[in-house]
Amino acid sequence: MENSGIVLTSRIRLARNLKNYKFPLKMTGEESNNVVEEVKNAVDRQNLNYKLTYMRDLSDVEKSVMVEKHLISPALAEKKETGAFLLSNDEKVSIMINEEDHIRIQTLGTGMSLKECWELSNKIDDVLEEEVDYAFDRELGYVTACPTNIGTGMRASVMVHLPALSITNQIEKLLIGISQLGVAVRGVYGEGTKSMGHLYQISNQGTLGASEETLIDKISQIVAQIVEKEERMRAHLKKNNLYEIEDDCYRAYGLLTNARRMSTEEAMKLLSLLKLGKEMEIIDKAKDKDIYRLMVKIQPNNILSSTDTELTTKERDKMRAEIIRNELLEN
């Protein structure tokens, strides 16, 4: 499963709050700064060597790039005055401060690595707990600003790439079925549940009444089922619709390597097909290319951040096409 390319990234996020402060929404500017200071000092004392960045020191584009790279949440980017985050050098750990809760520890991993992410999050959580006083209730567990996060305060998310289920219109039914299991599914880089590039995020809905390990096992099992469905659909396509799917994938490659302008949405769709073709071994192109990395690179703000000048949508579409051509055609 790890090598199929279907599971792209895993993420664990722990919501924590400090005992002696109001929730971020109710804090004054001074209190917010104190929270940042307190967390920063705790991290430093433990020699974690994470870099602190205040939201107020980032431009809108810089903030959006962080969001597109999943290093911070959109909600933190909104906290223009009071938000901050600590980031590890390898960008695998991000501690968001003054988002909805005082602290959100996030760990990122590639492929199906929820357990590794959980272990890392847990370690950082323990380390912080030595330094700060968490708000904790014996009955409920960790106290959070929003009741949906109460309990373990943990959200486990897995990003999956489901092109075969998407292009055969199986995805809707599948997602409805999954959401009935107490699991949230949403598109990545899309509005609401709208998906771009056939990317979906699977995560737990509840955080209460089960241990972190139980929740992670549940998500892992559901993801394994989805991956199996995607793999079965790919095998089905290869057996019954090879000609059509080959055509789709090669056309995608032809457009990606030739177009002179391209919207994010089109690029995501075509890159998804190219990724599928490579993994199904029906296309003999872009062999050593990391298509998912390219998907992130061509997001609107990632493109804006690569240049000093303001760009119109037209110019951005032109630059996007250029980036894709260069990336796919270089040896």
CA 157 to chain centre: 8
Q: Is 11 marked as binding a ligand?
A: yes
Contact status, residue 304 vs residue 316, Cβ threshold 8 Å = yes
- Is 191 assigned a ligand-binding role in the annotation? yes
Number of residues in the chain = 331
Residues 291-330 that bind a second copy (CB under 8 A): 314, 318, 321
7 in a labelled binding site: no
Residues 211-250 that bind a second copy (CB under 8 A): 243-244, 246-247, 250
End-to-end CA distance of the chain: 29
Choose, by CB under 8 A, the member of 251, 265, 306, 329 that binds a second copy: 251
83 annotated among ligand-binding-site residues? no
Q: Which of 225, 257, 263, 305 binds a second copy (CB under 8 A)?
A: 257
Question: Which residues face 293 on adjacent strands?
Answer: none
Neighbour tally for 2: CB within 10 Å = 11
- Is 189 annotated in a binding site? The answer is yes
Shortest Å distance, C-beta 291 to a second copy: 16
DSSP E strands in the chain: the ranges are: 7-16, 51-54, 84-87, 93-97, 103-110, 136-137, 141-142, 154-161, 183-187, 199-204
Site string for a second copy, 158-177 (x = CB under 8 A): --------------------
Q: In angstroms, give the least distance from the CB of 169 to a second copy.
A: 21
Nearest residue (CB) to a second copy, 145 versus 262: 262
b/e for 214-227, b at 16 or more Cβ within 10 A?
A: ebbebbbebbeebb
Residue 290: helix, strand or coil by DSSP?
coil
Binding status of residue 44 toward a second copy by CB under 8 A: no
Q: Which residues bind a second copy (CB under 8 A)?
A: 243-244, 246-247, 250-251, 253-261, 314, 318, 321
